[in-house]
Structure 1
Amino acid sequence: MITKARNGVSATELRGVDWRKSTHSGAVGNCVELAEVDHDAIALRNSRFPEGPALVYTRAEIAAFVAGAKDGEFDDLIG
C-alpha cells in the first residue's frame, strides 16, 4: 500500500487493497470499482482499465456523493 494516496495514482500502486464493485454492474465491463486505501481515503477505478488511474477521495466526499445519488440528484445524467 502507498503511504499517501493522491488523485490519478496508478491503480497498480495501490497494492493490498480490496477492490469491490456493485452487484448491479454488468458483465461487459461497465463497472466502477472502489477500495478502502486507508482510514480516510477511498479509491475509485474503471474496471475496464484495472492498471489505469485511480481517483482518491475522502470518506466525507464519497458519503456526500452517495447521499446525492440516493436522493436522485444525478438521475438526469443517466436517464
Structure 2
Amino acid sequence: MPAAQLAGMTWTKSSYSGALGNCVEVAALADGTIAMRNSRFPEGPALVYTRAELTAFLAGAKDGEFDDFAR
C-alpha cells in the first residue's frame, strides 16, 4: 500500500527495536487489516495483512517454524 494512503495512521514500533531504528512498525487500519512497514523508511510502502494472516504468522514464529531463518 502506498505511504500516501497511510498518512495520519498511528504506528507502533517494537520495544525490541535496535538503536539504529531497524525494525518493523504496525498500524491498525479502519477495515480491520494491519499495515506493516520498515521503520527506517516510513515514507516507503507498507504491506497489509488480515488479522488471520498475522495471527498465523505469529503462531508459527512462537512455535519455532521460522528459526532456520535466524541462523
Q: TM-score, normalised by structure 2?
A: 0.89
- The structure in which a higher percent of residues are helix is 2
> Equivalent pairs: percent with the same residue?
65
Match of 2:25 in 1: 33
Paired residues of 1:11 and 1:45 also in contact (CA < 8 A):
no
Query: Any residues of structure 2 matched to 1:1-79 within 5 Å, and which?
Result: 9-79=1-71
Distance 1:65 1:11 in 2: 23
Structure 1 stretches of 5 or more lacking a match? Answer: 1-8
Map Cα deviations across residues 33-60 of structure 1 (whole Å, 9 max, x no partner).
Answer: 1100124200000011101000001000
More strand by share: 1
Higher relative contact order (CA 8 A, sep 6+): 1
TM-score when scaled to structure 1? 0.81
Aligned length: 71
Q: Structure 1 runs of 4+ off > 3 angstroms? A: none
